[in-house]
Every structure is written in C-alpha cells, then in structure tokens.
Amino acid sequence: MRRPDLLREAAAGSGCAPWRLVRRLAVPSLLLLLPSVAGAQDLERGKAVYDKYCSQCHGETGDGKGIAASRLRPEPRDFTAGKYKVRMTPTGQLPTDQDIRNAIRKGLGFPYTAMPPFDRGLIDDAELDDLVAYLKSFSSAFADPDAQRQPIDIPAPPPYTPAGAEAGREVYERTGCAACHGNVGRGDGFSAPTLRDDWGQPIRVADLTKPWTFRGGGRREDIFRTMSTGFAGTPMPGFHGALPPEDIWAITDYMLSLSGGPQEGDTVEAPYANVVRAVVVDQPIDLAAADELFAAAPPALFPLLGQIVEPGRDFYPSVVEVAVQAIYNQDEIAFRVSWHDMRAETTGHNAPDLPVPSWEEQLAETGGAAADEESGGDEDDFWGVGTEESGEEESADDFWGVEESGGAGDDFWGTGDEGGATTPDKEFSDAVAIQFPQAMPQGVVKPYFIFGDAQNPVDLWFADLGKVARDPAAAEITEADLWTGRGSAAMTPNDAGDVPEVVARYQEGEWSVVFKRKRRSRGGLSFNPSTFVPIAFSVWDGFNRERGNKRALSAWFDLYLEPFERPNPLPAMAKAFGGVLGLEILLIAFVRWRRRRTAPASADAARPATAYESS
Ligand code: HEC
Ligand code: HEC
C-alpha cells in the first residue's frame, strides 16, 4: 500500500479532527511499515559515502565523468540518465532499489569492468541505503513517485539437460542473437563493430562463451534475468513478453553449454590454469595438418590483463584470455594459441616496439585532462579517432569504418577466414607473442614479466597477423618475428636465434595461431622433457589500436614437457623392473637376516626415500 492510500484510510476512519488522528495512528505505523519512504535515508550521509568511494569514477555530479573515467571501458555509469543495465524490471522501467543495492554489493562483472563489489566491511547496510537514495537523487526520473518499478517473475528453472541446451541453439538462431553475438556466441556478429551505447561510446558485445565475464552474473537465473529485461542504455534488448520463459531458459542453457554446462552454483567458473602440458607426439609436426596432432593436447586457459605498468598503458584491452596447447617430439615443439576477437584485423602492421603517442600515454595517467589540452579532443581520443601526433584528422565513424560503408553485410565479415579482404584498412593489425626467458632461470628468479629486464632477457615469438600465412592447407608457411626484450623500452630484433614457423587462422570469431620451432636451440631456450619452462603471452587487438606496449599480457605461467618415456611399453619395463625388484627383495631379506642375528632389538628398517619425496 502506498503512502497516500494509507493516509486516506486513516482519515476516513474518524469523523472529526482527521489530521490529529492521522498523526496519532498513521505516522508511527507508516514509519514501521515503510521506513524507506518515510525518509529514513540521509542524503548527506549518502553523499559522504559517494564522495569517498564512487566519485573518482562516477563524477561528483554523478555524470560518469570522474577523473578516472576516460581510461575506463566501459565508462562508469552516468547516473543522471536513470539508465541501469542490471535490473529485475522490464525494458523501459527504472531499476528497483534492490537492483541498485545488488550492483554495489556484487559489482558489475569486475574485474572485466572497473565496477568493483563493495562489501559490508566498506559500506554497511544503513550506508548502502543512504547511498542508493543519493544515486537516485542524481536523476529526475526517480522523482516521479508513480514511475513503475515492477520486478518480473523468474519461474523455476527446468533441470539443465544437454538436449534442452541443444534446443536452445535453435531459439538462439531464430531470435537473431547472432547478428550481434556471432554464430557461436563469441561476440563477433556482423554488427558488433558498429555498436554504441546511449552515450555514444563504442560498446563491446558480450562473449557468450565466457559467462564468468558477465556484468549481470553468470548463474542460470542471472542470465535468464539479463535476457528478459535487457540492458538499458545499450543495444542489448530485453525479451520479456517477446519469448516464452521456456525459450529463455533454453537459450540460457545453450549459452552455458558453450562453456561445458553449469556446474556447482548453477554456473561455470573461469577454468583458468597455471600450467600448460606439452604432450609427446610420434609423428613429425606438419603445420598443415596440425589440428589432428593438437587434438591430444589439453588446452590451458590463461587470463590476460591490460598492460598498465609501463608507458603505453591499456586499462581494458579487448582480449581477456588465451587458450594454449603444446605438442612436441624429439626434433620440434609447437604451440597453438587461440583467443576470441570480434574481427580479424589483417591490414596494417604491428610490432612489440611500436611507440604509443604521448597523448595516449598522458590520457592514461591523467584521465584525459592533459590529452584534452594537447589534442583538443575528448574521450574519442582514447579510441584513437581524434587528432594524432601527425595532426591528421579522422572522424569517429571513419575509425569504426562500418557505419559509413553502408551496411556491412555477411559478405563483409561473415566468411571469417577471408576477414582481411574487404575490411576497411586499419593502421594496426592483430598480433600475438609467446614469451620465454632466453636462458632457463637459475632458482626462482624469472625475468621481469613485461618484456624482460637487462639482466634477464626474454625471447618473443611474435606473429604479426597482417603478415603471417592464413592458409595452412596451401602449405604456405611464414616465419614468425623473433625479438629479444631487455625491458619494454629495449626491444631488439633477434637475428641470431632459431626462427619459429607460424600459421594462423580466423574462424567464427576465433584466432588460432600455431608456432613451431626446433626443440633444441643454439641461441635461445631448449625444451627438455620433464622440465618446467616459464611461458607468458601478449595479444594485440588492432581494432583497438593496440601495438607496442598497449596490449593485453599474462603473468608468467609454466610449460611442463611430459617425459618421452611413457609407461606404455609395459612388458619391457615390467621385465626390467621385475628384475630389479627381485634383487631388492633378496637384498632386504639378507639384511633382515643379518640384523636378526646381530641386533635382534633394533626395530626400524631404513625407510627408502622415493623420487617423489625428494622433488
Ligand atoms: C574504479 C571505478 C569505479 C568505482 C570506484 C565505482 N564504480 Fe560504479 N561503475 C564503474 C563502471 C566502469 C561502471 C560501468 C560498468 C558497465 O557498464 O559494464 C559502473 C557502474 C555502476 C552502476 C550501474 C549498475 C547498472 O546496473 O547499470 C552502479 C549502480 C554503480 N556503478 C555504483 C557505484 C557506486 C555506488 C560506487 C561507490 C560505492 C561505485 N559505483 C564505484 C566504475 C566504478
Ligand atoms: C543489437 C545487438 C544485440 C542483440 C540482437 C542481442 N544482444 Fe546480447 N548484448 C549486446 C551487447 C552490446 C551486450 C553487451 C552489453 C554490455 O556489456 O553492457 C550484450 C550482452 C549480452 C549478455 C551478457 C550480459 C552480461 O551480464 O554481461 C548476454 C547473456 C546476452 N547479451 C545474450 C543475448 C541473447 C541470448 C540474445 C538473443 C536472444 C542477445 N543477447 C541479443 C547486444 C545484443
């Protein structure tokens, strides 16, 4: 019951002096019933919490333009618009207070966006209510007491089944999700490169194969809600009322099936690894037929982060993870590195030593002020569409290329493999690098993970995807670029080392790049069985103008090379083993017999140390 109704009823219950009665009866009960409406929140207190924890990103006036804002992608929410992504309310309605509380408590897809979760240790429940009231006060939309904020019902989910998920694929295709999200959900739909949010910012379509990156949560229930109510202020539509609930569950389950299906907690956690295992193959490694060989190698998924330590910072690079496989034999070793990319950028070039202009750099450090002065631009500069050092002008639409070219259709990107043929020219191509220490580190000290250091150089196997062969079947195989890094400002081409061969493929929104090199090397690292080798990765998205130090990179992980001798040739080994065992038994029996004769009281036989204990 709303406040005016209560008042009217209380007043109607008495013949005279209604207002005194109201005060006596209604006000205390109102306070009990509706503490939030009766002004329990304190905007002053809300402002204090906001200024402390939120304003550096969301801006003092709630317009989303805090000092940190322009380096963030997506930008912090502009609260003056009253548009909230994660809501229980249907498209067009404001969020409930609980929706806003949830966003603050859970964050919005952190660390894949900058919006972190705030727990009770930072903001207690009373402060949270004050804060929500203060956020709402930024937008006039909330001033209307009649504005509807009616949460939808989320019906009980049917049990997850692979068959249900398969049925969801059909609904996904029929509903047109692929136009934005791509045929298999990797975020590479043909309209993906053109999309902007209501504030005119380029917006990246979600990669539906990675529910752990979702802003609105990756549980089945969360996804059902996201698909039902949509994300206000973005191109992501709501399907509440347009699709029956069983269809929405079916698509939800199709989506989760893309990453293996829900597990504990009704979701899929990021299956990140620390080690990639190189498995032994008996055949020579033929790059044109590498797919078959890699089928036996378990992929390891490694998270990437923006390079934000050295000049050329990139706070939110496009690529958030790489999947890596490794195979080897006596002579050669090969790696396959794969990641999802909205579009293959194969024009232009790339290299690990390309400079990032100072205005982009200052932008990262000052949140835009310095760059604005220098280039007279705004946040468009961050995306590289404003004035460059060369002074050349390029309009925003030119940069995105697609809007002006008039309806990029299927012929444009749809073929995937040929992505480079007709896309508008880009200055920077996509690129990838595998990084190894140049020499195996002694002890635990590894080279600095950002392109090494003066004492501990690294080797970079670098593939400029504007250059490398894209058709392994045609047996056209190119060489990777070999670089040596003694720090990110000291990159030099390495002309002495063994150069890896490389082939690449782009298909359905996924880059897949295979490197192969001799196992043993004169100049660089040799890969020996049963050893752990430090390994790290960098990916550059040319679309996002990543080059040089502006890139996504990983920390050091480990490559483990499985031993050549597998326990497969059992008979031969058993024979040898049996022989040794027989001798040992004889020996032990002999020792025991001697002991019993010489020192009958001494108890413990010496405990043999195993190989496992010593390692
Ligand atoms: C480090 C920067 C940063 C800080 C600090 C920060 N936010 Fe955010 N916030 C963001 C970004 C970026 C987004 C947009 C995420 C997106 O759109 O995917 C966001 C989005 C939001 C949203 C939108 C939720 C929705 O469903 O659309 C709310 C509400 C919000 N922030 C509240 C807060 C509050 C309250 C605080 C302080 C307690 C805060 N934020 C602190 C960066 C920040
Ligand atoms: C017009 C383009 C468009 C269409 C059509 C579209 N989406 Fe989206 N979708 C987006 C964009 C853009 C985002 C990213 C929004 C953001 O990050 O703020 C998104 C985000 C999502 C998310 C992630 C939400 C999260 O929590 O981060 C899911 C799940 C999703 N879409 C599913 C679907 C499904 C399923 C369909 C079809 C029924 C669909 N979308 C149709 C553009 C679209």
Calculate the CA 55 to chain-centre distance. 25
Q: Are 347 and 457 in contact, with CB atoms under 8 Å apart?
A: no
Which pTM was predicted?
0.80
Nearest CA owner, ligand 1 atom 43:
115
Name residue, tokens 């483990």. 560
Q: For the domain 162-266, what is the CATH superfamily, name and number?
A: Cytochrome c-like domain (1.10.760.10)
Closest-CA residue, ligand 1 atom 34, reads: 54
pLDDT tops 60 at residue 135: yes
Q: Does the pLDDT of residue 371 top 60, yes or no?
A: no
Average pLDDT over residues 77-81: 97
The closest ligand to the CA of 79 turns out to be 1
In the reported structure, the alpha carbon of residue 171 is separated from the centroid of ligand 2 by a whole-number distance in angstroms of: 15
- pLDDT of 580 reads 63
CA of 238 to the centre of ligand 2 (A): 9
Q: How far is the CA of 255 from the centre of ligand 1 (A)?
A: 26
Contact 379, 396 (CB under 8 A): no
pLDDT in tens, 598-612: 554 444 434 443 333
Q: Write the residue with the smallest CA distance to atom 20 of ligand 1.
A: 77
pLDDT at position 374 over 50? no
CB under 6 Å to ligand 1: residues? 53-54, 56-58, 68, 72, 74, 76-77, 84-86, 100, 103-104, 108-109, 113-115, 118, 131, 135, 215
Query: Which of ligand 1's atoms lies nearest the C-alpha of 66?
Result: 2
Q: Where in the chain is the domain with CATH 1.10.760.10?
A: 41-143, 162-266
Nearest to 334 by CA among 469, 501, 479: 501
Closest ligand to Cα 193: 2
CB 86 within 8 A of CB 218: no
| C-alpha 58 to ligand 1 mean position (Å) | 7
The CATH class of the 275-354+395-561 domain is mainly beta
What is the CA angle 35-41-44, rounded to 5?
Answer: 165
Report how far ligand 2's centroid is from the alpha carbon of 224 (Å): 12
Give dist(CA 521, CA 328) in Å, integer: 14
Mutate which of 58, 201, 236 for ligand 1? The one with the most ligand atoms within 8 Å of its CB, which is 58
pLDDT number for residue 569: 57
Q: Which residues contact 581 (CB under 8 A, 6 or more apart)?
A: none
Q: Kindly report the number of other CB atoms within 10 A of residue 89's CB atom.
A: 21
Across residues 319-339, what is the average pLDDT?
97
Average pLDDT, the chain: 81
Per-residue pLDDT at 32: 42
Q: Please check the confidence at residue 561 and state whether its pLDDT lies above 50.
A: yes
Residue 613: the pLDDT is 35
Cβ count near 292 (within 10 Å): 10
Q: Where in the chain is the domain with CATH 2.60.40.1190?
A: 275-354+395-561
Report pLDDT for 603: 40
Q: Specify the pLDDT at position 583.
A: 63
**Ligand 2 mean position to 235 CA, how many Å?**
7
pLDDT score of 39: 54
For atom 42 of ligand 2, which residue has the closest CA? 236
Indicate the top mutation candidate among 85, 112, 181, 220 to test ligand 2's pocket, ranked by most ligand atoms within 8 A of CB. 181
Q: What CATH architecture does domain 41-143 belong to?
A: Orthogonal Bundle (1.10)
Instruction: Say if residues 483 and 491 touch (Cβ distance below 8 Å).
Output: yes
Distance of CA 379 to the CA centre of its chain: 23
